[in-house]
Amino acid sequence: MQLKRVVVTGLGAVTPLGNNIIDYWTNLVNGVSGAAFIKRFDATKFKTRFACEVKGFNVDDYFDKKEARKIDAYSHYGIASATQAIADSGIDKEGIDKNEIGVIWGSGIGGLDTFQTETFAFAKGDGTPRFNPFFIPKMIADICSGHISIRFGLRGPNFTTVSACASSTNALIDAFNYIRWGKANAIVTGGSEAAINESGIGGFNACQAMSQRNDSPETASRPYDKERDGFVLGEGGGALVLEELDHAQKRGAKIYAEIIGGGMSGDAFHITAPHPDGLGATLVMSRALKDAGIQATEIDYINTHGTSTPLGDSAELKAIGNVFGEHAFKLNISSTKSMTGHLLGAAGAIEAIATVLAVKNNIVPPTINHSVVDPEIDSRLNLTLNKMQARTINVALTNTFGFGGHNAAVVVKKFIQ
């Protein structure tokens, strides 16, 4: 079977750095931190009192008040980013066969805020089971893809992937495969998450996974820094429209970049910690390169998982060394989580967008907040510290790894006719 080429024709984002693609990319390139003290609830009793919250998002821009109340925040962010991406791509125009356009979404947690609100209310009550009739439809992790499909009448493949922090990268890989196998003409893919509440902060604190740098929230996410002490929780959504090349060209669509490969693997090691030698990460990057049909030496930039955890950052860099050898010192590496925080199931989506824009614009976003050199990290690696770098980027790789040992990687290439 002749595989079809898959290109990116639309982008949308709701992030801690901005609620549209232009603001998101501008702040990434300029090294802006999205972290600050939590405003959504009183976090003074928690070990971590800060996060990367979405700022200035107006629900009324996308929903009427009645509709908004029936939808969890994670779906608000997802539908908003998908609405932007669809408008950007033009696939919603008259004459396009929506039977051949699908939605494949990713979310690691789904409607945590709805779950918390409803269960807290029940616990405080008299024991009578009074629940919002929209409790389950608001909460379930698949509902955002359903909302996007319904809103735009997209009747192609429709489902959600759940693989913790790798969720939206797995969704992107599935979308890529469905299109190149001829199962759809286009797919709206991405992910969304809204876990900044008492349950999310408390739960991740109990896992000892998050930074507790309450004296300096804006510098807390510091991948590769010797004093890194955990990730910073983020929220939001990111959407990409993937499209079969001929379909996109026939309708005159603009093309950001081409997706040429994807890889998946399991660490088979621990529920929260990566394999210390990066075995799963080594395997997933190798599989992504093989699927793309390219050599390791063709990669110019890696957008890493880079969560700012002591174990995770080291394991990923070991894996990069395993896969790329001496070429690892010739490419750029950066972690955009240093700015956005960790969006959990939506991380892969917004980082794929960052990678697509890096390829399109020949700019590597920085890894910010680095101040103390970690002697355990090879100093020959170009981690793009604290300031963006301009370079030709023909091919880039983006990694995401999730609790449970779920690993996913995608290869993005500059579009050439």
Could you report the per-residue pLDDT of 42-93, keeping only the tens digit for each?
Answer: 999 999 999 999 999 999 999 999 999 999 999 999 999 999 999 999 999 9
pLDDT tens per residue, range 186-212: 999 999 999 999 999 999 999 999 999
> Which of 52, 165, 275, 370 is an active site residue?
165
> What is the bridge-based pairing of β-strands 332-334 and 257-266?
unpaired
Averaged pLDDT, 224-238:
98
Collapsed DSSP state (helix, strand, coil) of residue 225: strand
The alpha carbon of 35 is separated from its chain's Cα centroid by a whole number of angstroms, namely 17
User: Which of 284, 331, 302, 315 minimizes the C-alpha distance to 377?
Assistant: 315
Are the beta carbons of 253 and 9 closer than 8 angstroms?
yes
User: Which of 166, 149, 138 minimizes the C-alpha distance to 71?
Assistant: 138
Q: What are phi and psi of 52, to 5 degrees?
A: -100, 85
For the ranges 78-92, 125-139, 280-294, the lowest mean pLDDT is seen at: 125-139
Domain with 356, as residue range(s), is: 1-417
Mean pLDDT score of the chain: 97
CA distance 366 to 337: 10
**DSSP assigned state of 16:** T
> Which of 76, 342, 370, 406 is an active site residue?
342
pLDDT at 417: 82
Structure token pair of residue 354:
């960052």
Can 165 be counted among the known catalytic residues? yes
Q: What are phi and psi of 164, to 5 degrees?
A: 55, -130
Q: Produce one character per residue of 384-417: b if its CB has 16 or more CB atoms within 10 Å, e if not.
A: bbeebeeeebebbbbbbbbbbbbbbbbbbbbbee
Query: What is the number of alpha carbons within 13 Å of residue 249 lying toward its C-beta?
Result: 10
pLDDT at 94: 86
In the chain, % of residues over pLDDT 70: 100
pLDDT band per the 50, 70, 90 thresholds, residue 21: very high
pLDDT at 213: 98
Are the beta carbons of 321 and 328 closer than 8 angstroms?
yes
pLDDT greater than 80 at residue 252? yes
Structure token pair of residue 359:
């390829």
pLDDT at 393: 98
Are the beta carbons of 262 and 289 closer than 8 angstroms?
no
Can 305 be counted among the known catalytic residues? yes
pLDDT band per the 50, 70, 90 thresholds, residue 232: very high
pLDDT greater than 90 at residue 404? yes
Collapsed DSSP state (helix, strand, coil) of residue 406: strand
Q: Model-level pTM?
A: 0.98
pLDDT greater than 80 at residue 313? yes
User: Which of 353, 359, 366 minimizes the C-alpha distance to 394?
Assistant: 359
pLDDT greater than 90 at residue 300? yes
Can 247 be counted among the known catalytic residues? no
- Residues present in the chain in total: 417
Helix boundaries (H) for 90-225 = 112-124, 135-139, 143-152, 167-180, 198-206
Averaged pLDDT, 118-129:
90
pLDDT at 166: 98
pLDDT tens per residue, range 357-394: 999 999 999 999 999 999 999 999 999 999 999 999 99
Averaged pLDDT, 111-138:
93
CATH number at residue 90: 3.40.47.10
Name the domain count of the chain: 1
User: Cβ neighbours of residue 309 under 8 Å, at least 6 residues apart?
Assistant: 209, 228, 230, 231
Helix boundaries (H) for 207-328 = 245-250, 279-292, 310-324
pLDDT band per the 50, 70, 90 thresholds, residue 126: confident
pLDDT at 1: 76
pLDDT tens per residue, range 325-348: 999 999 999 999 999 999 999 999
CA distance 240 to 224: 29
pLDDT at 176: 98
User: Which of 242, 137, 234 minimizes the C-alpha distance to 192?
Assistant: 234
In the chain, % of residues over pLDDT 90: 96
